[in-house]
Structure 1
Amino acid sequence: MSTLPRLQHAQLSSELFKKLADLNMAVVRRGHVDPGLLHLVDIRASQLNGCAFCLDMHSKQAKLHGERELRLYHLPVWRESPLFSPRERAALAWTEALTRLAPGGIPDALYAELREQFSETELSDLTYQVMLINAWNRAGVAFLTPPGSLDKPYGLDKAGLA
């Protein structure tokens, strides 16, 4: 890990930070995709991107919103775990495909699987959520936001995962 101090991006670019947060909240408020599924998407992308801050924050949010800890532990191995529904599996596969874009793009088979599980609006909103968490992850990784640093202001200390 770097010892070089990093920028306080949220303060330096506060207007941009707020707009990204507002867009994020707009996806949640629309309510087309279950918030619990959005938490799984955020956690999985954060795992893939190596964003400790986002992984910490979204795991705590998921726990506060009723997610079972065992499912959080199984998330890195969701393909082998029996704990995820076909809809969740499709969303996690989509998250991985959009987070790690392959040279050939998104396979038709994956897209067809998604269309079986999600309406057009749900799939569009889910895609925006994956885009957003990847943006947040890039800021977290670039500026090494310390995990847990916003627990108190965001009420995440109540998750019992310290």
Structure 2
Amino acid sequence: MTQRINAMQQSPALYKKFVEFSMLQKDCAIEQTIQDLVHIRASQINGCGFCLDMHVKEAKLHGERELRLYHLPIWRESSLFSPRERAALAWTEVLTRLPEHGVPDDIYDRVRTQLSEKELSDLSFVVMTINAWNRLSVGFRNVPGSADKAYGLDKAGLE
């Protein structure tokens, strides 16, 4: 696969502001473990190889267990995820695949049993952001692993 264009080079001011926006989420109400799971799951759904590769490596660097990464596509059937993580994954999937008639009340109600209003709002921004990054990377065919050294992801030990 060959990258089409480099958004960072073509739109440096917009790219810089979007990175800054993304970095604000490090201090949001959603813990890093869940952010990692959300980034990976949305990237799987969107078929974004660049982001999937990046976020699996980040999750490993953050201490995520490998089996949970393997179970992420089957999180509903797996016993490896907490109710809070399941709620975050359900919200990620519904916002990533936006149903024709909006988010069903039953999903919203289920998620609200696990997350406060602030947490749900912050989670929505996390989901929104990874979906935007996915769209840039898929559209411009960013090559998986091409930024590993720049982001320190080569230290994840995944090859």
Greater shift, 20-29 or 41-50, is seen at 20-29
2:47 corresponds to: 50
- Give the drift of 1:10: 1.4
For 1:129-140, list aligned pairs within 5 A: 129-140=126-137
1:128 aligns with 2:125: yes
* 1:16-74 deviation line (CA, Å, top 9, x unaligned): 111111111112223x1101100000000000000000000000000000000100000
1:61 corresponds to: 58
- Provide the rounded CA distance (Å) in 2 between the counterparts of 1:76 and 1:15: 35
* Alignment equivalent of 2:34, drawn from 24, 34, 37: 37
How high is the TM-score relative to the length of structure 2? 0.97
Letter in structure 1 aligned against 2:99: A
* 1:96-149 deviation line (CA, Å, top 9, x unaligned): 000001112101111111111111111100000000000000000000111111
Structure 1 residue runs of 4+, over 3 Å off?
Answer: none
> RMSD of the TM alignment (CA)?
1.0
1:94 aligns with 2:91: yes
1:16 corresponds to: 14
- Provide the rounded CA distance (Å) in 2 between the counterparts of 1:76 and 1:18: 32
Identity %: 62
Gaps of 5+ in 2: none
- Provide the rounded CA distance (Å) in 2 between the counterparts of 1:75 and 1:10: 30
- Provide the rounded CA distance (Å) in 2 between the counterparts of 1:156 and 1:33: 22
